[in-house]
Amino acid sequence: MVVSGINMQRFGRTGVLMGGTSAEREVSLRSGAAVLDALRAAGVDAVGIDLQQNWADQIAKAAIDTAFIALHGTLGEDGCVQGLLEIMGIPYTGSHVMASALCMNKRLCKQVLGQAGLSTPMDIRIEVTGPERYPVFVKPVAEGSSVGLHRISSQQEWQALNIQSPAAWMAEMPVNGVEIAVSVLAGVALMPVEVAPKSGVYDYASKYTVGATEYFCPARLPMETVRYCMDCAEKAVAACGCTGAPRVDMIVGSGGEAVILEINTLPGMTATSLLPKAAAVAGIDFQTLCLRILETASLEYGQGVSK
């Protein structure tokens, strides 16, 4: 079957990897189900794989030729499943092993972005008693989807978090401005989506609760600022070696400077997700978006999907 010039048979049997064991399991299941439905509707021989215990065994039994990764968080987004698929010789979507591991570690990612001349929030040192100043945003060094993100204004609030391993956390000075997300599809930035959470903080609940956040695409910014942010996003994913359809989250201050918060290598594909919103504004419907992402499937050390 051929849709929009894409021969579906070239992908062979495609496994949509979803679920996993991270804190983002439920979101991943929603993303995976949406992708699976879209691929099947387009004529792809697709099967859903809810990864739980022995991932290698589950993938091997599914006998897939290509993997569409709809996982989020630990093991699914940090280079682990990517490395497994490399060993198994199965081309996959999203960023490869090294880029995935880099972007999951927010501290290392910030260093790479800084070396590329891109702005990130100022780090605040966490001492034995907590951050050395307030207010700050604190978040785990290696988690995704705003899991564990908190804005705290005092030592009492820090203590209330009851963090057992402070070294695994980082603190940043708040940045005021317009929060936007710029998705980069196959190296080309899509129109920025402005996020306006009603709570004032774009945390996990604001991301995945329908009606908790207002979205504007294009973002309500001057066009020259929009183009600048798109350019910054493309430079950020190139600096970190990301491929597929990563999303760059940033805040634009009153002076128009873009401060990059993080890079999400496997953005959500749910009803409230930002990548599908940006694609829609570009005239790319959800089914076509899934196919475009699937076309990017490849192996870091081998070949991509055969033409």
172 is in an annotated binding site: no
Q: Is 141 in a helix, a strand, or coil?
A: coil
264 is in an annotated binding site: yes
The one-character DSSP state at 192 is: P
Catalytically annotated residue among 28, 100, 273, 300: 273
Give the CA count within 13 Å in the CB-facing half-sphere of 66: 26
Catalytically annotated residue among 31, 100, 145, 206: 145
Report long-range pairs for 215-220 (Cβ below 8 Å, ≥24 apart).
215/274, 215/277, 217/191, 217/192, 217/193, 217/277, 217/278, 217/280, 217/281, 218/191, 218/192, 218/194, 218/281, 219/178, 219/180, 219/191, 219/192, 219/193, 219/194, 219/252, 220/178, 220/194
CA angle (142, 146, 147) in 5-degree steps: 65
Catalytically annotated residue among 24, 77, 86, 179: 24
249 is in an annotated binding site: yes
Judge whether 24 counts as a catalytic residue.
yes
Judge whether 273 counts as a catalytic residue.
yes
Query: HEC profile for 274-301?
Result: HHHHHHHHCCCCHHHHHHHHHHCCECCC
Helix (H) or strand (E) holding 108: helix 106-115
Judge whether 145 counts as a catalytic residue.
yes
Residue positions in the annotated binding site?
249, 262, 264
Which amino acids are annotated catalytic? 24, 145, 273
Residue positions in the annotated binding site for Mg(2+)?
249, 262, 264
